[in-house]
Amino acid sequence: MIRLKDKVVVITGGSSGIGLATAQRFVEEGAYVYITGRRQGELDKAVALIGRNVAAVQGDVSKQEDLDRLYAKVKAEKGRIDVLFANSGIIEHKTIDAVTMEHFDKTFDVNVRGLLFSVQKALPLMSSGASIILTSSIAGYKGMPAHGTYSATKAAVRSFARTWTLELKDRGIRVNTLSPGATDTPIIDGQVQTKEQAAALRANFAAAIPLGRLGRAEEIAAAALFLASDESSYVAGIELSVDGGLAQV
């Protein structure tokens, strides 16, 4: 069954990891997908990988002019958005004693401010039946050393889904949160300095996860597909955790 036939989708942070796997899956399911990210080279590789029904728009979600340029292009080419996957995110490990104002601003600018305006500026193109999916994290409701700022941004994201569900209900737009657990993407490597440290981080996660391994980006994409499609037509305001049980037991 093709679940997203002729749907127009925007995926922020669609050039890598979870966003890229979701873009691939959504195109397989019949959608036309716009992907964004700051690095043009990664976007070019993603477009080549996906191969059809995809367009890349370089941009930083924390920059208003980049978001305006993204949505102006979507409006000119397609005239509407059926699904928005607000997924861009960054993490920097810092314990409370090491947090700087620069680290705080950078993390909140992308994960919270960038996500909020990604949604706000998409709304004029969205109509009844549209679905908004916000990428949070199990870190938003679980304590983890050195994750304080990141986790706070993800708790904010989850909170937005509650408010926006009520604010957008009369327009027929559903808002839900998707919270991955440890998922094997480049963001894991970016949290450490060496390959050995990355392997140790993956091993530590795997040991703590009931299913005994990290998630695959494709497994998060499958949950995004559920929230994007009419299969979730009666699902609103939830947090769907996809974490191999890490934060559930």
Q: In the complex, which residues of this chain contact ligand NAP (CB under 6 A)?
A: 12-13, 15-19, 36-39, 42, 60-62, 87-91, 110, 114, 135, 137, 180, 182-183, 185-188
Clarify whether 34 is annotated catalytic. Answer: no
Token couple for 25: 């899956």
Contact 234, 228 (CB under 8 A): no
CA 110 to chain centre: 11
Nearer to ligand NAP (CB atom), residue 58 or residue 232: 58
Q: Are 227 and 22 in contact (CB under 8 A)?
A: no
Pick 18 or 173: Cβ nearer ligand NAP: 18
In whole angstroms, how close is the CB of 226 to ligand NAP at the nearest point? 16
Give the tokens for residue 137. 């994290």
Shortest distance, CB of residue 214 to ligand NAP, whole angstroms?
A: 7
Of 8 and 11, which has the nearer Cβ to ligand NAP?
11
Which ranges of 132-194 does DSSP label H, i.e. alpha helix? 148-168, 186-189
Q: Are 32 and 53 in contact (CB under 8 A)?
A: yes
Q: Give min distance, CB of 11 to ligand NAP, in A.
A: 9
Decide: 23 and 46 in contact? Cβ < 8 Å.
Answer: yes
- Choose, from 32, 34, 71, 150, the residue flagged as catalytic: 150
Instruction: Give the nearest distance from C-beta 19 to ligand NAP in angstroms.
Output: 5
Q: Give the span between the Cα atoms of 130 and 123, in whole angstroms.
A: 10
Least separation, in Å, of the C-beta of 17 and ligand NAP? 2
- The secondary structure of residue 215, as a DSSP letter, is B
Q: Which is nearer to ligand NAP, 3 or 38 (CB)?
A: 38
Please provide the size of the chain in residues: 249
Distance CA 87, CA 141 (A): 18
| Of 87 and 131, CB closest to ligand NAP | 87
Residue environment code for 234-245, b if the CB has 16+ CB neighbours within 10 A, otherwise e: eebbbbbbbbbe
Query: Which residues are marked as active site?
Result: 150
